[in-house]
Amino acid sequence: MAEFADEEKTLQSMPERTFKELKSEGNHAYKNKDYERAEIAYSKALDMPEGADDAKLFANRAATLLELHRFPEALSDSERAIEISGTWIKGYHRKCQALKALGRVEEAFDVYKLVQGSESIEHDREWLASQLLYTFNEIVDDLVNETPSSIDRFCEIFSKLEDMRLKLSTLARFWNASTPSHRLSFFRNIALLAGSSSSTSPTGQEIGLPPSLEGVGEEQMVALPLDNYSDVREIDNWMAFFEGLELDNQLTLLQLL
């Protein structure tokens, strides 16, 4: 804090700087990793009339605030940059950086997806794809460390995943974690759902299994081979959540997925 006060005192003691000079001072300080000095210079520039609508300057100060671990302020500056120039990618990128620093990784991913789907926001496709992948991996890392609190939350987590092999391997592991009788119940429910959009006929009678499936029993409900998923990690938190559910809730979860 003393160093910060000294920096501010030093800048205040300097002759009055023009807007351009303050921006240059901030850029130079940032390049040299003197973030306190950069933040002061950028702030002084933003206090000038010329700075009120300078999206780049807000984004630069956001970058500086990120380095200073002042994440809520960085988020505010990035959002102001977007307000000023909604077609400029840097404001969105700074917002995503701030959101991730605040632990709001899923929100950051949604912002990148919004940019990807926009025709008006200028962006480099390869760069954006790399940011999406990096952020997605961060999301997965966060989600796999979470023990879902409910079926709804698990479905929300599962829907965020774009890795189909991870999804399929998880479903296979859920199946294998079930008893043969549980698997049979799930199989029968799925067969009924596949055979009709409802469990009753137009006359109100219950619809049974197709004749070809009537003889299917527990002995056919074998474990699925996981050889094709040997390189896909098993997520212990998810397995513990599934195994802790009652039968009816396991069936509900599998049907929702």
One-character DSSP codes across 100-125: HHTT-HHHHHHHHHHHHT-SSSB--H
* Mean per-residue pLDDT, 155-175: 84
With H, G, I as helix, E, B as strand and everything else as coil, classify residue 132.
Answer: helix
What pLDDT is attached to residue 198?
42
Mean per-residue pLDDT for 175-193? 77
The answer for residues whose C-beta is within 8 angstroms of residue 103's C-beta and 6 or more apart is none
Q: Could you tell me where the DSSP H helices lie in 117-163? A: 125-144, 151-160
Mean pLDDT of 215-221: 77
Quote the mean pLDDT of the chain: 82
- Give whole-number Cα distances, 164 to 144, 159, 161, in Å: 15, 11, 8
Encode pLDDT of 44-83 as tens digits.
Answer: 999 999 888 999 999 999 999 999 999 999 999 999 999 9
CB distance 98 to 62 below 8 Å: yes
The three-state secondary structure class of 122 is strand
Class of domain 2-144: mainly alpha
Q: What residue spans in the chain does CATH classification 1.25.40.10 cover?
A: 2-144
Q: How far is CA 167 from the centre of its chain?
A: 16
- Confidence at residue 203, expressed as pLDDT on a 0 to 100 scale: 45
φ, ψ at 122 (rounded to 5°): -75, 130
Specify the pLDDT at position 195. Answer: 53
How many of the other CB atoms lie within 10 Å of CB of 19? 17
Question: What's the confidence (pLDDT) of residue 53?
Answer: 92
In this prediction, residue 211 carries a pLDDT of 55
Please write the tens of the pLDDT for every residue from 99-150. Answer: 999 989 889 989 988 888 888 888 778 888 888 878 877 877 777 777 888 9
Closest CA to 138 of 181, 107, 175: 107
- Report the DSSP beta bridge partners of residue 88: 122
pLDDT band at 84 (very low <50, low <70, confident <90, very high): very high
- Look at residue 43 and tell me whether its pLDDT is greater than 50: yes
Higher pLDDT, 78 or 205: 78
- The Cα angle at residue 64 between residues 142 and 45, in degrees rounded to 5: 145
Give the side-chain half-sphere CA count within 13 A for 13: 6
Q: Does 192 score more than 80 pLDDT?
A: no
- C-alpha to C-alpha distance for 106 and 99, rounded to whole angstroms: 9
The distance in angstroms from the start CA to the end CA of the chain is 52
Does residue 202 or residue 194 have the better pLDDT?
194
Q: What would you report as the CA-atom Rg of the chain, rounded to the nearest whole angstrom?
A: 27
Q: Residue 162 carries which side chain, given as an amino acid letter?
A: E
Q: Give residue 256's pLDDT.
A: 82
Residue type, 246: E
* Spatial distance between the Cα atoms of 179 and 103, rounded to a whole number of angstroms: 38
